Amino acid sequence: MTERVLEISKLHKSYGDHKVLNGVDLDLNGGDVISIIGSSGSGKTTLLRCVNLLEEFQEGVIKIDGREIGYSNSKGKRSKVNNKQVTKDRALTGMVFQSFNLFPHLSAAENIMLALRKVQKKSKKESAEIAQHWLERVGLPDRGSSFPGQLSGGQQQRVAIARAIAMNPKLMLFDEVTSALDPELINEVLDVIKSLAVEGMTMLIVTHEMRFAYEVSKKVIFMNDGVIAEQGTPDEIFKNASSERLTAFLKNTRF
Amino acid sequence: MDFYIDYSVITSSLGILFHALGIDLYMTLFSVVLGTLIGLVVAFALVSERRIFRILSGTYVAVIRNVPLLIIVLFIYFGLPDAGFVFSEIPSFIFALTIYAGAYVAEVFRGGILAIHKGVGEAGMAIGMSNLQIIIFIKIPILIRSTMPALSSTYISIFKDASVAAIISVPELTFHIRKINLETFRTIEAWSTATVFYVVSCFLIAFLLRRVERRVAIPK
């Protein structure tokens, strides 16, 4: 039996009066790949950022491996856990961003090594070996000494994936990771993610690449106005869209 | 009276002048190093989420930047002994120049912090780094590199400002030049010499800092 890795229940998040997430429930088992699609402003990125605790949320519970992260509930009173615990909880998930966000002053290998050394306290040698392993894995075996400014967008994003996954997270979060890329660089990044899926990595993917979502996902979620408006297998979502909103959304996207 | 130029009063005291220049450089080095450390801490306080940090650091920068260096120097040199803290001229001046430099460097760094892409810090958080680790291993290294051009010109200004030490009789370059002027009345020779000393020194400092800047620059 596969274990439940991520459990999101009744997640609510608002900025002031503006409700962004309005009661989201979502579960991921080990090895699951779930894609989230939807128009901008539907809350998909915010959902991912809540799971990585980059955003606070007012209601709801997020559990990883059965343990609540970010908040604690005792005697019905909900409170934020301390910063140290937030940092620990955050490390359970790996996040890859739309804008790559590599550290510009460090080489590709050093980008991967930094947290291995400072957070996981691994030796320099071991960190370098892990970095090299993942650089090879994302198809950049000889770019370890290159700096982000010397790499193409696709290469930077692959380093960013390597940096996140080298920390050995329970769950990988991908936030529109190809949206900032030139069209000809998109596939090299998607291929890396696909190969991780094949290896059984648990992933939650926000994407505008419909064909990719169709091919890689076990389940696709369509978000609208801060709720999961529809969910199902890729075939159910892309071939047999039932709701009017989803049909309208898919009509306006490339497949 | 015939007008003539006679640099012999200068050439006979060249040794003293170079030694005096050394005092300027020495005081500058201390103030720049300490001021940079203060500036780093203050800059992060200026952009802190904690209001109390912003108020304290903002007050420091506002007060120091809005008061002439001369006043700060006189205040510290004549004021602190009254309060029971007695320093000799050079330490007193280094103290004044350091807190002065700290305020200017803080503003340079503040601009640099604001220019760092927000996502870079978030990427650090996402891989499990603490706020302090992000500041030490990510933000400060980026900051030093990106603000190096602006820091260089701040450092050069501070070197020139070391001349203010003449007012409290620190035997630095401007002090000695003025002394030569008063003792020999060779006004043009004295102040043209000062000009050359300062121009050449600043040029060399700029050249050195430029090399550092190139060395630490983020590869593109």
Q: Does residue B57 fall inside a structural domain?
A: yes
Q: Which residues of B touch A (CB under 8 A)?
A: 117, 119-120, 122-131, 133, 137-138, 141-142, 145, 218-220
Residues forming beta bridges with residue A96, ordered by sequence position: A174
Task: Band the pLDDT of A168: cuts 50, 70, 90.
Answer: very high
Cβ-based contacts under 8 A for chains A and B: 78
What is the secondary structure of B20-84 as a DSSP string?
HHHHHHHHHHHHHHHHHHHHHHHHHHHT-S-HHHHHHHHHHHHHHHTS-HHHHHHIIIIIHHHTT
Question: Quick check: B164 and B178 in contact, CB under 8 A?
Answer: no
The answer to whether the Cβ–Cβ distance between A52 and B133 falls below 8 Å is no
- Is the confidence at residue A1, as pLDDT, over 70? no
Which residue among A93, A100, A118 places its CB closest to the CB of B133? A118
Question: Quick check: A25 and A9 in contact, CB under 8 A?
Answer: yes
Give the helix/strand (H/E) hosting A102: none
* Each residue's pLDDT tens digit, B157-216: 999 999 999 999 999 999 999 999 999 999 999 999 999 999 999 999 999 999 999 999
Which chain A residue has the Cα nearest residue B129? A119
Q: Does residue B2 fall inside a structural domain?
A: no
Contacts of A164 in chain B (CB under 8 A): 126-127
* Each residue's pLDDT tens digit, B71-128: 999 999 999 888 888 889 999 999 999 999 999 999 999 999 999 999 999 999 999 9
Please tell me the total count of domains within chain B. 1
Percent of chain A with pLDDT over 70: 99
Q: What is the ipTM of this complex?
A: 0.89
Q: Does residue B1 fall inside a structural domain?
A: no
Q: Does residue B110 fall inside a structural domain?
A: yes
The terminus-to-terminus CA distance of chain B in angstroms comes to: 63
Q: What domain range is B93 assigned to? A: 8-216
Q: Does A88 touch chain B (CB under 8 A)?
A: yes
Question: Quick check: B125 and B133 in contact, CB under 8 A?
Answer: no
Question: Quick check: B98 and B87 in contact, CB under 8 A?
Answer: no
* Each residue's pLDDT tens digit, A28-38: 999 999 999 99
Higher pLDDT, A78 or A134: A134
Q: Does residue B60 fall inside a structural domain?
A: yes
Q: Does residue B3 fall inside a structural domain?
A: no
Q: Does A61 touch chain B (CB under 8 A)?
A: no
Question: In a mutagenesis test of the A interface, which of B127, B132, B140 is the best target, namely the one with the most A β-carbons within 10 Å?
Answer: B127
Residues forming beta bridges with residue A62, ordered by sequence position: A8
The pLDDT, as a whole number, for residue B1 is 61
Question: Quick check: A178 and A96 in contact, CB under 8 A?
Answer: no
Question: Quick check: A28 and A76 in contact, CB under 8 A?
Answer: no
Q: What is the arithmetic mean of pLDDT over B35-62? A: 96
Place of tokens 């306290």: A121
CATH of the domain at B75: 1.10.3720.10
